[in-house]
Structures are given as C-alpha cells and as structure tokens.
Chain A
Amino acid sequence: MAYKPQFYPGSTSVGINRRKHMSGNLEKLRDIPEADVTAIMGHRAPGADYSSTHPPLKEMGEPDCPVRQLVAPTAGAAAGDRVRYSQWTDSMYFAPSTPYWRSYWGAINCKGCDPGTLSGRQIIEARERDIEAYTKAQYDSEMTDVALCSMRGCTVHGHSLRLEENGMQFDMLARTEMGKDGNVYAVKDQVGIPLDKKVNLGKPMTEAEAKKRTTIFRADGVPMCGAVGARKYDEAVEALHHMWELRSKWGFRPE
C-alpha cells in the first residue's frame, strides 16, 4: 500500500481544515488575475522584467554535484530571480488560515520557499516568479477570506483587534475597502502605496462560512478538546499532550 501522509489529528472541523491546509488539497474559491496579484505585491509593475541576482543557471555552468542533478530548480531559481516576499495578516475572528498554517502549507507544498511565522503575520520569501505563483495560490484558495485576511508588507497590526462595523479586518493604512456592491477592493499594494486601479477581490465569506472554514480553535467556535461534555477529548489534544510530554523529557536520561 502506498504511503499516505498524515498531517494533523482530530475529527473536529478545525482539525479537518488544518489537514486540508497542510496537504495543499484546498478548494479554489476565486480567480484573481496574475497581473493584479503582482500589482498588490508591489515588487514589480505587471508586465515588467524580473530583476535578477545571478545569470540563468544554464549559463552559469554549475559544478558537478549529485544533489543538483537530482533536484530540478524552480522556475525562479533557474532564471536567477531576486528573492521577494509576500506577507499575510489573518484576523483572530475566524479567519480561514493562521500564521502557523500558512507556514505549514508553504513548507510542505511550495518548493524553494522560506516561510516565517510570527504571532500576527506570516511571511513567505522565495524567488520572484515562484512567490508570485504561491501568493496567487493563497489568494485564490480557501486559505484566504478577502475581508478577514489581507496582504500587509508593513503596519500589520489588526489581527487581534476587533473587526470594523462592515466585517473587515482593521487596517490602519486602509489597503482594502468594502465597495458599495458588497465586494472587497484592494486599493493599495502591500506597503500602502496606492494602486493605479482598484482590484476587485470578490465577496467576503459570511460569518457562518468563515467559522466553517477556519483553522482556529476558539472557545466560542470549535474548542480544541472537541465536543463540550464528551467522554473523551478529541485526538488533537491527546496528540498535543503526547508531543508536549516527549518535548519536556527530551534528552532526560536518569541513570
């Protein structure tokens, strides 16, 4: 029987969603054009050339190395692109993803990337054409709700604040706005420089939908222990206790 990776324990909806994020088996909810994703990232104008740090690998004449022969370079690495980043902020109010799960998704599913996890934001660095593809994948999939998640290169605070009256995550720099038609528009790039044209990101999730897709355990949503009052805790807690115990005893050898 072929090996099937197991990503996360538990039978709660959050456990199932966490498995989906880690496995990369995500539902596609929207299709934002590549040029618009590039514009929101703000590293280069859509259609402009990629800046590079070294010549394409084919022209460089690489040393004879078994690992290089084994591993095919990503498109960005083969072309010698600069390393760029995209950074996300996800609201604590039932955003579909969280920094840890964006990082798990990146580390498991995206080749040649460097995810960085912080308390309120999550950054992925990779070669420019790779990071553009990874960012588009995040934007288009159920990892992102356009009201509760946004790309913020700086001034990221907002994840732990209350939402605005219209259900948007608070953003000091007003990078996204709720249109009169109920769609969310990106009006600035991730560092707060106005875009030439507004980018329609589509409609946000309803509160019920966000709660259904979230990877956040919360006492007022799905608690980590599973159903309240159940005879047995959810497997996620058992696994956590197990790991915690091993971690605490790590290297401890009473002799």
Chain B
Amino acid sequence: MVTESDTESIQVEIVPSRFLMPASAQKLLNEIYGNGGLIRIMIHGPNLPRSVPYGPGRGAPIDENRDLLIEVGGQAFELCVKVGRIRLELESAKFYDGLKAACERALPISFQIRRGKFFHTRQTITDYAKFGKVEDTRILGLIDPRAKKDRLAILSEERVTIDDEER
C-alpha cells in the first residue's frame, strides 16, 4: 500500500451545481484565497462576449457582460467567463479540508469537490505557439487553447496583468 505524502502539492476541482453570479464568485474566490496554501488557480466557464459575435445583431454591445469587476485578495480584475468550475493547486493536502469548508461557507448551492490531476505538466503545441518555451511551468494548464490570444489573469503581489482582447 502506498502511503500518501502530505507534503506534495495536490490539485482540486470545484464544480458548483449552477453557474455563479459575479458576487458569489467573488465571495468564493476570497474564501479560497483566505484558506491559504494556493499555488495557482483557474476559473473556467462559458465565454461572456462584450458584443454580439455573429448574426444580424453582430457588433451590438452586451452591457451586461462588461465591467464585471471582482476583487480577490485586495486586487480587482475583470471576469471574462461565467464561473462554472474552479481548478486549483494547493501546496499540500493539509489545506484540503479548509478548502472544503470555505466552499461550504461561500456557496449558497450544492457543489462537487474532488481531487485529481487537472493541469498538464508538459508543454502542448498551443502553449509553445503562444509563449515559446515556457520557463515558469505553473502557467501550464491555465491557458484557454481555443482563445485567439492567451486569456490569463496573473495576480501577483505587485500588480495585476490581464492579457485579453475585445471579442
């Protein structure tokens, strides 16, 4: 029997039973952030375009999808997707129970939480095409391969970088 190490990082996926409103997403992300032990985190869900992408109404603005600012850990950034799934990596398994409790506190609806392997470890061709040789492997698995450009918000201690295009 293999004994699980509690010092290795673990990956977790949280799937709420419904799509989250920006306010609920902010609350949940802040609870997750407050729990600590976070190495990286990805939010995933359907795209929220800022204008009608095709059809007779093409180009008409969608004001509901603009300026969806949320503040996480004191830094504000703009939501580009409807939050439906959160994948994250924790420093060790000891933060897992706290994370589960954080989700229970923050989410008004039922959710699934599971451990597994959700981020890839080797560079894909898409990663290579977008970034060249990736030095910091933590960004692997955080990129939407179908987006025209990389869609990635990097929250660091110093500043917020959002690389996104108007679509």
A residues adjacent to B (C-beta < 8 A): 42, 153-155, 157, 161-166, 170, 172-174, 177, 188-189, 191-194
Contact = CB atoms under 8 A, between A and B. Distances in A.
Nearest to A158: B46
Contact of B46 (A42, A161, A165, A188): A161
Contact of B56 (A154, A162, A177, A194): A154
B111 to A, nearest CB: 11
A95 to B, nearest CB: 15
Contacts of B24: 165
Shortest Cβ-Cβ A-B pairs, 8 listed: A154-B55, A174-B64, A191-B57, A192-B57, A192-B52, A193-B57, A191-B56, A191-B55
Contacts, number: 67
B44 interface: no
A153 B55 contact: yes
B18 interface: yes
Nearest to A194: B60
B72 interface: no
A164 B84 CA distance: 9
A171 B65 CA distance: 11
Chain B interface size, under 10 / 10 to 19 / 20 to 34 / 35 or more: 20 to 34
A170 B82 contact: yes
Given A192-B60, A192-B62, A163 B48 contact: no
Interface string B48-69: 1100111111001010110000
Given A157-B46, A192-B57, A193-B57, A173 B52 contact: yes
A155 B65 CA distance: 15
B20 interface: yes
Interface string B33-52: 00000000000001111001
B20 A165 contact: yes
A241 to B, nearest CB: 34
B39 to A, nearest CB: 27
Given A170-B46, A192-B60, A192-B62, A154 B19 contact: no
Contacts of B54: 154-155
B154 interface: no
Contacts of A154: 52, 54-57
B55 A163 contact: no
Contact of A172 (B17, B20, B47, B84): B47
B21 interface: yes
Nearest to B19: A164
B76 interface: no
A177 B46 contact: no
A162 B17 contact: yes
B49 A172 contact: yes
Nearest to A43: B56
B49 to A, nearest CB: 6
B48 A162 contact: no
Given A172-B47, A177-B64, A164 B52 contact: no
A94 B60 CA distance: 31
Interface hub of A155, A161, A173, A193 (most chain B Cβ within 10 A): A173
A174 B65 contact: yes
B56 A153 contact: yes
